[in-house]
Each structure stands twice: as structure tokens, then as C-alpha cells.
Amino acid sequence: MMLFRSARNTDLDAIHHLAEESGIGLTTLSKDKKILAKRLHWSTESFHKSVEKPNNEYYLFVLENPKNKKIIGVSGIESCTGHESPFYSYKISKRTRICRSLDIRSDYEVLSLVNDNQGRSEICTLFLEPKYRKHKNGLLLSKARFLFIAQHPKRFASTVIAEMRGISDKNGISPFWENVGSHFFHMSFAEADRLTLTTDKQFIADLMPRNPIYIKLLSLQAQAAIGQPHPSTQTAMNILLKEGFRYNKYIDIFDAGPTLEVPRLKIKTIELSHLVTIKNISDEVSSTNYLLSNTQLDFRATINSALVNKEKNTCIISKNTANLLQVTCGDQLRVAPLQLNVGELNG
């Protein structure tokens, strides 16, 4: 049984270790320890502030093995994209040209630089240590964020997005970047990715082509990468698709990974979650596994058995669960059923 909880400033070393393992393309999990420390401080402040509407908050969570306190994963939520600097995406749109005199019709797609996803909440910063990608750890790391959103809806926008990591090889070479971005930025994919986190992103507006890009003119490798997740991210994407997220033809401007979106209230875990009062705490409980969380900003969640009475909105949980969530009889929990297992999370 793993613990999903709010990250603390003291988690910096452990989170930095995960960042070192994460490879290239996970923009919000910087390998620069100073940047990580700033983001961790930003998260800590966000958890402690009073919020009536989303206003540039960032919530970082860790997945911890309670037996040895080892942090094995990390995930986050940004409350409002593009608050301090523009949030850029490429939008794929279709165009048609018809020459009636020659009886020729030409349909083609273009990429246009847009800010359409500005102001939306974004789930992000997800990475699970490879050897722990089993026993529903990935489901907990991904889905527990939705219980936090359900419990604190004022903190989030009405639409939630997720940028999935795009295609790149083991050396961090992105075919889309090599065919598009590198010609305008004159730097590596990794360097451009780093600058999105350390600058106000003005360099994107300054250097990105302002006219639409014709997809047919790109290399076959770059075309094939458009809207495709990195293999290590496919299962994470499957989990989100099961939650109701959909790909609506927006992609990352650097690696062409797909951007998924969903109305916040249509996220399945949020729709199916509800509050129950702890009626009793038993030594052990043998029943259905649920996604369980406390209701505090000092957020804690886990997956474990619980006896839930839906008619009375009460539950019985084990002592281990109560200790992990730091709750007692009479306290409320938010519970949600586990969805159909789509495999363990791979990045």
C-alpha cells in the first residue's frame, strides 16, 4: 500500500533523483536542482494559500513507500496555464483548395501557433520509477490528483488538459524538433525544453514561424510523430482516455506530443467520487479496493479495501489506512471506484 501525498520542501533530494531518471521531454520535472527547489516552494505556497479561483497555483505530489519513506514517483497540477507567460500549442487544421478548370481537389493539414489552451488547468510532472510500475502504483499516482481536484474545485479551471510527452529516441532526439524547431531556434531539443521552464517564453514568440506550417512538407518521420505519445507515456495516456480525456488536434510545439482535454466535471473519477464518513476503524478490512483520500489541503490518498455504505454515506476502513491518511472515526473521506485496469503506468 503506497501513500500519495502533498510534496514538501524536504522532498527536494528525492524528487531531484527522479528528475535525473526521467529522460528528456518532461519539461516540468527539471534536472536543475535550483529550478526544482523553486517549483517545490511554489507548490508549498499554493497548498497553504486561500484560493477562490485559479490564480497561478502549482500543486506537486509524491508517491511514497510508507515502509521505508522512499519516494518513488511524482505528479502535479498547474491551476491556470499561461498566467505569467503565454501557453503555446500547435493546432492542426484542415484546408482545401479546388481547381474546377482542372477538376483537382487538394486537402491538406497545417500547423498554426495558438494560445487556445491558455487559462486551463493542466495535470503534469508525472514520473514513476520504472521498477515500481506495478501493483496499481501508476493508477494511484495519476488518478489521485482527480480526488484533490474534486475536493477543491474552486482551485481549478472548468477545463483540464494534459500534454503528453512526444516521440524522441534514447538520446533525446525528437524527429519533429529536428525537422521544424531546430531550423528556427538553432539549439537542441533539450535546450529549448529547458528554456521553457527558466524564461518567460518570449523566445518562442520571437523565433517560432508565424505562418502556418504545411504538414505535407515535413519529413515522413516528423509527420509520423505528430500527435503520437512517447512509448513510455502510452499507458499514462490510456489512463487519461479512460477518464474521459480526448485528443482535439492540439500538439506540443517542440516534440508534437498530443494535448488531451476534458471538462473538469466530466472526469470519471471526479464524477464517481463522493464523500463518506468513517463509521468504524477495524484491524483489517477485506472488501472492494477503492481510491481513498482525506479532505485536507495536506492531501493524502491511497488504494485499499473499504466497506462503503452508499445509502448511508459511511465507510469502515483498516487501521493501516487510517494511519496512512491521518484520519479517525467521524472524519470524512473522499472515495472513488477504481476504473478498468488499463495496465501499469510507464512514464
- Interacting residues of 110 by C-beta distance below 8 A, sequence separation 6+: 92, 93, 95, 212, 213, 214, 215
Catalytic option among 16, 183, 186, 230: 230
Give CA–CA dist 13/37, Å, rounded: 9
Give CA–CA dist 209/182, Å, rounded: 12
Give CA–CA dist 225/173, Å, rounded: 12
Nearest CA-CA partner of 89 in 56, 111, 57: 111
Q: Report yes or no: 127 and 25 within 8 Å, Cβ to Cβ.
A: no
Give CA–CA dist 21/232, Å, rounded: 13
Nearest CA-CA partner of 61 in 19, 17, 15: 15
Give CA–CA dist 207/193, Å, rounded: 14
Q: Report yes or no: 339 and 156 within 8 Å, Cβ to Cβ.
A: no
CA atoms within 13 A on the CB side of 84: 12
Give CA–CA dist 143/305, Å, rounded: 17
H or E element at residue 14? helix 12-21
**C-alpha separations of 312 from 96, 155, 237, 272, 307 in Å:** 58, 29, 35, 16, 12
- Is-catalytic flag, 83? no
Residues with catalytic roles: 230
